[in-house]
Amino acid sequence: MTEQQLVDLLQSMTLEEKIGQLTQLDGSCFSGEGPVTGPEQELGIPKEKFLLAGSILGVTGADKIEQIRRICIEAQPHHIPPIFMADVINGYQTILPIPLALGCTFEEEAAKKTGDIMAREAAADGLDITFAPMVDLVKDARWGRVMESTGESVYLNSRMAAAMVEGIQGESEDFSGHLGACTKHFAAYGAPMAGREYCAVELSERSLREEYLPSYQAAIHAGSAMMMTSFNTLDRIPVTGNEKIMRGILRDEMGFQGVLISDWNAIGELILNHVAEDKKEAARQAVVAGVDIDMMSGCYMSRMEELVREGTVEEGLIDESVLRILKLKNRLGLFERPNRAEKLPEYGVALLSEENRKVAREIAAKTMVLLKNEENFLPLKREEDVALIGPYMEEKGILGAWSFFGDREKSITILEGVRSKNPSAHAKSGCGILNPGQTVYGFKFHETNEMTEEETERSIQEAAEYAAAHKKVVLALGESPLQTGEGGSRADITIPDVQKKLLDAVYAVNQNLAVIVFAGRPLDIRAIKEKAKSILYVWMPGTEGGNAIADILYGDRVPEAKLSMSLPYCVGQCPVCHNEFWTGRHVEDGENITNRFQSKYQDIPNAPLYPFGYGLSYTDFTYSDVELDRAEIHEGEELEAAVVVENTGAVTGKEVVQLYLTDEYASVARPIRELKGYQKICLAPGEKKKVVFKISMDMLCFYDRKMEYRAEPGSFIVRIGTDSVNGKEARFWLRK
């Protein structure tokens, strides 16, 4: 349809139809025959009106989607098709590593491939939009949703955000064979106080603009079709009802022209935030703020017509939102061909195909961070005498908390992966993932360890005896996938106590030990670091996780990942990150400080256990001194910083060369270091490569005391190295 045809369609619609387009309902509101009784009381909407909903979430399967879509189209006075949306976060049926792990690749192509695979599979099964990517910057490991972000770096997060949008939406204007992306959650959802889910966010405007907005802006520049509001308050105003944030910043300043949707019942929660007395006032605040679609609160459909009739809300505001929704439906091609799954033969997509599995295996291996490797414990030799122990050795639930549509039974366990290289391998669990009798709950699943204390003790003892009988031990431990994700905030970010007992028991009889850590967040792994000779942090690796781990364990792939989020020494440090600020009494770890009155802990170090950007390989890399092509630049100019990196080890490996900048003196406090660039290179043994970074003026800009975004004259330190702590440095000056 042409834009004029869309405008004509809008003008011919009744107010009731328009409000329907602004309403999103869950699949539970529908059966194959039409609307169902039940949700109507909760939503305050007669079930007959359900068929006017402009979009539906949580329904999957091409046949079911087509059935409900057809019923809705027939009931619509203008036969406008609904959009079907779902949370496809890190895979549809082929599950890839969680986004936080994906950040550890420092590779946009891996993010783009991930988005491409999950979008093509979901589109082939009838879906139109995914609620992804989540690009919220995260610093606090206590927050469960860190697993959905790509980490703590403004620069890395922004680049990965753009890549994910591009992968999800594909190269076609109508997202043919792909999905529209709904970037979330605007804004600053990743900074809840105390790391507690749905908690308030307290940020200065400077921090909001410099650290949290850039990733959303990158997604907008990449063409994200939609944006989702966040649950949190910002400046003590719930974002979903914040006109300054949504219309002022998101649309007017950042240029977002797509569709803005609330999160689940976020408009209704304006009441629970005590800023709206009832659904009517909540609906008014949200539509004035610019929220186009009300997800599952019923506020718009139940109260918006009344607001318009009495003149409290202008119908023009409704029309603006409806036109944006109609434009999106037109872009998706729904008016001409409502059933996207009909294009399955054209897409050439097979769900959970061997090709997709192959890519998932490659990407999973790229995400696994080698944290420790004393005495070159890894890689293993195929003929080595190794005991495989731990609750994750034969565990198929390694997909991540948001992997609703993946079949865990089709995932590859570590034991299965190892047996492809050593057919005689076998394993002992030693204990459950959770403590005996413990249950954790997720959206659609729950997990319980039904072993008794006595059964667990016997199993741990058997595992210890098994460990004592072998030369080496590989122990697979970690938190449950359901201990992370939305609602997964934790104050104790260690592995479950029962696994600590298993670790102690195995270590007591065999210190020749490597540990594989499964996690959806940075964990406190001090106990593991103390005992293990080697640590491989594998996150939640997805369908092909077991094969990818085996590839790393036996050296068929060389570790190349770097931490996208710092691993804290303990929870007391949280939030901890690489780009902390100078203080008047700053202390570097290692300094011999006897003065009590310094910015330090009395009982733990300031530094994380493993810093952002850290990760080992099976080979070694050395860096030359940093060379600058000039010592001074003026406004509008740029300079080049270079190092020569050499592979001094015995195998070919990849290294993420990282560039950090420090603004030494400025009108406002500046971070001690900020990631401003990275390049991944591959070097054969003995090979050298010169790596060159261009430092441009925009890399030096920040919001000064007057909240003007500019670079200030002065001295800057360039650090180039293997992580955020270790590197070579040089200094240059920006002159007036």
Active site residues: 263
Q: Which residue has tokens 């999800």? A: 168
Distances (CA, A) of 165 to 121, 161, 242: 16, 6, 25
Helix (H) or strand (E) segment spanning residue 550: helix 545-553
Q: Which of 571, 558, 499 is nearest to 531 (CA)?
A: 499
Cβ proximity of 394 and 415 under 8 Å: yes
Beta-bridge partner residues of 291: none
Residue 685 burial class via C-beta count within 10 angstroms: exposed 0-12, middle 13-18, buried 19 and up: middle
Between CA 651 and CA 249 the distance in angstroms is 50
Sheet architecture: strand order including 180-186: 259-261, 226-229, 180-186, 129-130, 83-86, 55-57, 23-26, 294-295
Provide the token pair at 117. 């695979």
Contacts of 602 (CB under 8 A, 6+ apart): none
Cα 426 to its chain centre, rounded Å, is 34
Cβ proximity of 564 and 614 under 8 Å: no
Between CA 461 and CA 472 the distance in angstroms is 17
DSSP-assigned letters across all residues of 346-394 = HHT--TT-HHHHHHHHHHHHHH-EEEEEGGG--SPPTTS-EEEESTTSS
Sheet architecture: strand order including 727-735: 632-634, 727-735, 714-721, 653-663, 674-683
Q: Which residue has tokens 């993420």? A: 656
Between CA 173 and CA 258 the distance in angstroms is 14
Between CA 304 and CA 431 the distance in angstroms is 55
Between CA 18 and CA 618 the distance in angstroms is 60
Angle, CA 488 vertex, CA 723 and CA 542 arms, to 5°? 65
Q: What are phi and psi of 43, to 5 degrees?
A: -85, -20
DSSP-assigned letters across all residues of 633-646 = EETT--EEEEEEEE
Beta-bridge partner residues of 674: 661
Beta-bridge partner residues of 689: 645
Distances (CA, A) of 49 to 18, 25, 29, 34, 142: 12, 11, 11, 11, 41
- Asked if omega into 39 is within 30° of 0 (cis), the reply is no
Between CA 720 and CA 643 the distance in angstroms is 7
Between CA 732 and CA 720 the distance in angstroms is 14
Between CA 169 and CA 130 the distance in angstroms is 10
Between CA 301 and CA 55 the distance in angstroms is 13
Report H helices in 631-680: none
Helix (H) or strand (E) segment spanning residue 330: helix 315-331
499: left (phi over 0), alpha (psi -120 to 50) or beta: alpha
Q: Which of 373, 370, 410, 414 is nearest to 391 (CA)?
A: 414
Between CA 207 and CA 213 the distance in angstroms is 9
Provide the token pair at 214. 């850039």
Could you count the other beta carbons within 10 Å of the beta carbon of residue 623? 18
